[in-house]
Amino acid sequence: MRSCSTLAKSHRPLAEELFNASFHCVWEDLFSSHVSDVVVDNSLITGIEMVLSSSQVPKSILVSLLNLAEFMDIQDRPLPIDVRLLAQQTQFANMFAKCLRYREIEFASKNIPPSFECIDALISVNNQLGLSDRAIGVLRYLRFAYPHIEIQPQWLEKLCRWDDAYHAYEVDIKICKEIYKDDVPWQHDRWLQNELGRLRCLQALGEFEELESKAKLLKEMLKARDQMEEFPAHFSVSEIQRLGANAAWMLGKWNSMEEFLEGEMKGGDVKDVVLEHNLSFYCAILAIHNQDYARATSLITETRNLISGSISSLLSESYSRAHRAMVTMQILAEMEEVVEYRQFAEKLNLDVEALKSTVVVGEIKPVVLSPSSDIKSPEKSTLLSGDLAAKKLDLIRKWKARLKWAPKDVDVYRQILVIPFI
């Protein structure tokens, strides 16, 4: 290691590769003869835990420390770091395989029953890894080993049992209304979380009319609460905005979508690889519809930058786990292609609504120019219209070719197929 030190100082990638091995060497030298010092008042471990607990630490450093903890464990020198902290941070960093191991250690503790957070995380992480049978098995084991633990609606939601989850949320909301007769949802976190859970179930079930009306009512309640000084802004506003905007978009109610997205985007910087969970995605859709292409391009870039950090951590585990993030990047690229196409149409002074009929069953039709067009020659008009129609046809063929190789997954298809509707 010492012979590599000079080169590592001048070549950062080598230093990063040797970090784990270097730490192991120093650890052995410091604590080989004083094992008790490892767990008793160890400032090094305290410092690592402080860094892991900080919300200001860059993602790259967080990933490096989590990889270090795993490396030391493999070397049979596990660091005495709280397993719950490691589980929380690995899940935050999208390192799901590592998170699953830490959560299973926590779940298997013989002294205390598993916490709601641990159970929730186990179900989520198993789903993220494509282990749906194991996620279902968690609930079955709970019913057998811990019958006193009540099955929560959010667990059913994570298992995609949307009807069961919806009815469970309905029951909980009725109970909250009986307990807090003179209050409103935003005054009680349990009540508000049940309302949000019901909205998510309505989205998954495709009940967009009901989702829009309930989201609008809840948003108005929170908006009235925000005007009261004693109640600060709540993070749940962003989720209501997202769910309401999705429903309005699916129903083609652009004015309603604009109402949901108006004002400050509280918690809009969600770093989720699923586009439907990012407010900036809906703002970009609305900007494209309103022909504000500069803002749309800016929002697409902003969304890409937000989720780019997640891709690196997912790729560090395996390509298959990063595939959903790669699909997201493809969709963002297709949105930029839509912007480019519509800008090209505007340059030709074409009526955007008339463009919808330029391609019929794979045939190119000439486009009628708008009355304001300064292109006088009929031959030139037909030529430019044909160029535009050819561009659209090429775009459609390109999207069909990409869809051909997409995995046969409903969630992936739903995410990919929304772009042609723009």
* Per-residue pLDDT in tens (0 to 9) along the chain, 422 residues: 778 888 888 888 888 888 888 888 888 777 665 555 555 567 888 888 999 998 888 888 898 999 999 999 998 888 888 899 999 999 888 888 899 999 999 888 877 788 888 999 999 888 888 788 888 898 888 888 888 888 888 889 888 889 999 999 999 888 888 887 777 666 777 888 888 999 999 998 989 999 999 998 888 887 766 554 444 445 678 888 889 998 998 888 999 998 888 865 554 455 566 777 788 888 888 899 888 899 999 988 888 887 776 676 666 666 666 677 778 888 888 889 888 888 888 877 655 445 545 544 444 444 444 444 444 444 444 555 667 788 888 888 888 887 777 767 776 777 777 777 67
pLDDT recorded at residue 101: 92
pLDDT recorded at residue 374: 47
pLDDT recorded at residue 38: 58
pLDDT recorded at residue 219: 85
Domains annotated on the chain, with CATH: 160-267 (1.25.40)
> Is this structure's pTM higher than 0.75?
no
Token reading at 307 = 């989720």
Residue bearing tokens 């120093």: 26
330: exposed, middle or buried (Cβ count in 10 Å: 0-12, 13-18, 19+) = middle
What HEC string does the chain produce?
A: CHHHHHHHHHCHHHHHHCHHHHHHHHHHHHHCCCHHHHCCCCHHHHHHHHHHHCCCCCHHHHHHHHHHHHHHHHCCCCCCCCHHHHHHHHHHCCCHHHHHHHHHHHHCCCCCCCCHHHHHHHHHHHHHCCCHHHHHHHHHHHHHHCCCCCCCHHHHHHCCCHHHHHHHHHHHHHHHHHHCCCCCHHHCHHHHHHHHHHHHHHHHHCCHHHHHHHHHHHHHHHHHHHCCCCCCCCCHHHHHHHHHHHHHHHHCCHHHHHHHHCCCCCCCCCCCCCHHHCHHHHHHHHHHHCCCHHHHHHHHHHHHHHHHHHHHHHHCCCCHHHHHHHHHHHHHHHHHHHHHHHHHHHHCCECHHHHHHCEECCEECCCCECCCCCCCCHHHHHHHHHHHHHHHHHHHHHHHHHHHCCCCCHHHHHHHHCHHHC
